[in-house]
């Protein structure tokens, strides 16, 4: 049996004295895309932050490729273990597209050949990013900025890729382009955990889905098997 790229076991934690997550068990296999769905306030973003140790763990473990990283500091996790595309992208808008990308691979700066290879992967996936590499990020559309944000995450060459609401605020054509990019990453063997409100996008891109409600996993299914009744159940949980 394959060692999961990502595994959480009984993960609980939150902010201050209050738990937001309650015993989260989930897995992402190597080369698998998994969606974490749920209504606003369900704890989805908190779950992603907990994986990066940005949220206190009270109980449970986080493993990447079989290594327990529960106690790792965030900066160590971000160096090739887990990469994040945060909600809202959070680019340096006054910097060029290329500068934003290179910041993602800052810990690899001594290995110029590897950085150049990763940059080539980003440009191959999103040709528009290469065309605009010398422009300030502020000059790009929302969809193009999201491509840059995904590219910046790719530049850290993470074992697991996290994306928090990547479709938020994007036009339909931009969502289609982003979905195609995520599908290509999955086909290239990347391991992805996607937080999304759009069930259609999650089912299009992902192999499996988890539904989070009240900080607990309440449903798990194979994306391809979700029919009308399953879709209605997911929609009910999403509110």
Among 142, 157, 172, the domain-final residue is 157
Same domain assignment for residues 99 and 34: no
- 215 and 167 in one domain? yes
Q: Residue 134: is its pLDDT beyond 60?
A: yes
The verdict on 99 and 153 lying in the same domain is yes
136 and 168 assigned to the same domain: no
Q: pLDDT of 135-154, one tens digit each? A: 999 999 999 999 999 999 99
Count of other CB atoms within 10 angstroms of residue 169: 14
Whether the pLDDT of residue 14 is over 90: the answer is no
Shared domain for 112 and 166, answered yes or no, is no
CA distance 28 to 6: 5
Last residue of a domain, one of 157, 182, 208: 157
Predicted confidence (pLDDT) at residue 230 exceeds the cutoff of 70: no
Are 143 and 164 contained in the same domain?
Answer: no
E runs forming strands in 31-81: 33-37, 56-64, 67-68
Return contacts of 199-207, CB within 8 angstroms, 24+ apart: 199/37, 199/231, 199/234, 199/235, 199/238, 201/167, 201/175, 202/35, 202/37, 203/35, 203/231, 204/179, 205/33, 205/35, 205/179, 206/33, 206/34, 206/35, 207/32, 207/33, 207/34
If asked whether residues 196 and 226 sit together in one domain, one would say yes
Same domain, 57 and 122: no
Q: Are residues 164 and 153 in the same domain?
A: no
Q: How many domains does the chain have?
A: 2
Which CATH number covers residue 60? 3.40.50.300
Read off the pLDDT of each residue in 88-97 and give the average, rounded to a whole number.
91
- Give the per-residue pLDDT at 231: 57
One domain, residues 112 and 182 = no
Which of 157, 176, 199 is the C-terminal boundary of a domain? 157
Q: Answer yes or no: do 54 and 96 share one domain.
A: no
Q: Which domain holds residue 95?
A: 90-157
Asked if 167 and 231 sit in the same domain, the reply is: yes
For range 79-102, the mean pLDDT: 93
């Amino acid at each position: 049996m394959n060692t999961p790229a990502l595994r959480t076991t009984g993960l609980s934690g939150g902010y201050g004295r209050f738990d937001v997550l309650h015993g989260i068990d989930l897995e992402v296999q190597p080369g698998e895309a998994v969606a974490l769905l749920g209504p606003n306030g369900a704890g989805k973003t908190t779950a992603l932050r907990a994986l990066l140790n940005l949220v206190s763990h009270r109980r449970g473990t986080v493993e990447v490729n079989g290594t327990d990283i529960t106690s790792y500091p965030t900066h160590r996790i971000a160096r090739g273990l887990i990469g994040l595309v945060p909600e809202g992208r959070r680019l340096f808008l006054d910097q060029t597209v290329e500068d934003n990308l290179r910041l993602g691979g800052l810990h690899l700066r001594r290995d110029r050949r590897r950085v150049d290879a990763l940059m080539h992967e980003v440009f191959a996936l999103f040709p528009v990013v290469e065309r605009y590499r010398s422009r300030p990020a502020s000059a790009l559309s929302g969809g193009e900025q999201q491509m840059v944000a995904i590219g910046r995450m790719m530049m850290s060459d993470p074992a697991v890729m996290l994306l928090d609401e990547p479709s938020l605020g994007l036009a339909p054509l931009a969502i289609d382009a982003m979905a195609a990019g995520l599908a290509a990453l999955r086909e290239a063997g990347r391991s992805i955990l996607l937080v999304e409100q759009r069930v259609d996008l999650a089912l299009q891109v992902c192999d499996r889905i988890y539904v989070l409600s009240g900080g607990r996993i309440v449903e798990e299914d194979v994306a391809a098997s979700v029919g009308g009744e399953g879709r209605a159940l997911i929609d009910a949980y999403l509110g």
